[in-house]
Chains A and B, each alone.
Chain A
Amino acid sequence: MAKIKGAVVIDTERCKGCEVCVVTCPMDTLALAVEVNAKGYHYCYAANPETCTGCANCAVVCPDGVITVYKIKVG
């Protein structure tokens, strides 16, 4: 069966840490970091990158457009 693997690239300096993407992600890929960015926000990052399917839900709801999604078919 063909499987789709995805990856997210996050512009952490523009992220405002609103957590909307974390709640939206169906695969629990994203999480908020313990560290903060230059503006003092807990930015989001791919905590479990291997689970990402590239559905782009996180990027669609992100109010600041910081997420870019890539996906590839494997197998």
Chain B
Amino acid sequence: MAELTFKDIIKPENLAYTKSKLMTDNVMHYCPGCGHGTAHQVLAEVLEEENLQSKTIGITPVGCSVLMYNYIDIDFQEAAHGRAPALATAVKRLMPDKFVFTYQGDGDLAAIGTAETIHTCNRGENILILFINNGIYGMTGGQMAPTTLEGMKSSTSPYGRNVSTMGSPIKMANIVAMLPGTCYVTRQSVNTALGARKLKRAIKKAVQYQNEKRGTCFIEVVSNCPSGWKMTPVESNKWMEENMFPFYPLGDIKVPEEK
């Protein structure tokens, strides 16, 4: 048999993977290796496969992902800092047929927006909260966030986080899992292809539960921040596996009973 050339393989019928059609051609402003890009793509793939492009309203937060509406071609509403779950509540109640999700970072969801997050989950609003946890305020220059690990250095904790004066890191997924309003709480990652594929399955489940009006779905994505952590992308992924995953173990925290 003749040897296959590169041109023989590059044909539309042999396509195995390409970026989702919902992703626009804008170049993302994220730093090289940032987990936000992968999380955006996974989300866009799910929306494309579930045919939700015209039925979705996303709520963008304040933080690095504030310009998310430039990258995914769906309807978006911008929320004030931390208030995304409150806005999502209003959107979902006014338009119950839409698929509503919020996409928030840890400074947004776990610091200024703690009250909104907890009460939205407690009321069991039919929305999906996607929580990107990178343990630092990435956009404003690497300040300490509520989820910063003990001993982890940031620009406002240059000697490492001291638990006696700064408190312990907060596990938001475990907190909201205790509330009766949440139906599905899970913690995933996007640093490997396996992690990204598992996140995709988790978002698909959340779409299904929202259609069945089962309650709030909360997906935490443990992510990296190469610039804030002052590491290369590959080093930051390794550091995350060694330090973040033992404290924020991946996997399902609360799974609803099958109907």
Where the two chains meet, the residues of A that have a C-beta atom closer than 8 Å to any C-beta of B are 5-7, 9, 14, 16-20, 23-24, 41, 49, 54-65, 67-72, 74-75
Q: Pick the residue among B18, B31, B191 that contacts A68 (CB under 8 A).
A: B18
A5 touches B33 (CB 8 A): no
| Complex Cα gap A39–B32 (Å) | 12
Tell me if A's interface is mostly helix, strand, loop or mixed. mixed
How far is it, in angstroms, between the C-alpha of A23 and the C-alpha of B233 when the chains are bound?
10
A-B pairs with beta carbons under 8 Å apart, 18 shown: A5-B4, A7-B9, A9-B10, A18-B226, A18-B233, A20-B33, A56-B17, A56-B193, A57-B193, A60-B17, A61-B190, A61-B192, A61-B196, A64-B37, A67-B17, A68-B18, A69-B18, A72-B9
Please give the distance in Å from B160's CB to the nearest CB on chain A.
26
Are B27 and A61 in contact, with the CB atoms below 8 A?
no
Q: Which residues of B contact A9 (CB under 8 A)?
A: 10
Tell me whether A49 and B41 are in contact (CB under 8 A). Answer: no
Are the CB atoms of B14 and A72 closer together than 8 Å? yes
Separation of A71 and B11 alpha carbons in the complex (Å): 9
Whether B196 lies near A60 (C-beta < 8 A) is yes
A5-B237 contact given A71-B14, A74-B1, CB 8 Å threshold: no
- Compute how far the CA of A55 lies from the CA of B36 in the bound complex, rounded to whole angstroms: 22
- Chain B 157-179 against A: per-residue CB contact (8 Å), 1 yes, 0 no? 00000000000000000000000
Q: A18-B32, A65-B19 are in contact. List 16 more A-B contacts (CB 8 A).
A: A6-B9, A7-B6, A18-B33, A20-B33, A20-B237, A24-B192, A57-B193, A58-B193, A60-B41, A61-B38, A63-B28, A68-B17, A69-B18, A71-B14, A71-B16, A72-B14
Of A5, A41, A57, A64, most buried by chain B (CB within 10 Å of CB) is A64
Per a CB cutoff under 8 Å, which of B1, B4, B20 touches A72? B4
In the assembled complex, B197 has its CB within 8 A of some CB on chain A: yes
Residues of A within 8 A of B15 (CB): 68-70
Q: What residues of A have a CB within 8 angstroms of the CB of B38 in the complex? A: 60-63
A60-B193 contact, Cβ under 8 Å, with A18-B33, A20-B33? yes
Within 8 A of A (CB), among B199-226: 226
Bound together, the chains give a CA A54 to CA B20 distance in angstroms of 17
- Measured CA separation A18–B233 after assembly (Å): 6
Counting from the closest, the 8 A-B pairs by CB-CB distance are A63-B37, A18-B33, A65-B19, A16-B32, A57-B193, A56-B17, A18-B32, A7-B9
Q: Kindly state whether residue B234 has any CB partner on chain A within 8 Å.
A: yes
Whether B156 sits at the interface, judged by CB under 8 Å, is: no
Given A56-B17, A63-B28, A70-B16: A20 and B9 interface contact (C-beta under 8 Å): no
Q: Which of A49, A64, A70 contacts B14 (CB 8 A)?
A: A70
Chain A residues with CB under 8 A of B20: 65
Complex CA–CA separation, A71 to B19 (angstroms): 16
Residues of A within 8 A of B146 (CB): none
State which of A41, A61, A65 has its C-beta within 8 Å of the C-beta of B193: A61
Cβ A63 vs Cβ B34 within 8 A: yes
CB distance from A32 to the nearest CB of B (A): 11
State whether A75 touches B6 (Cβ < 8 A).
no
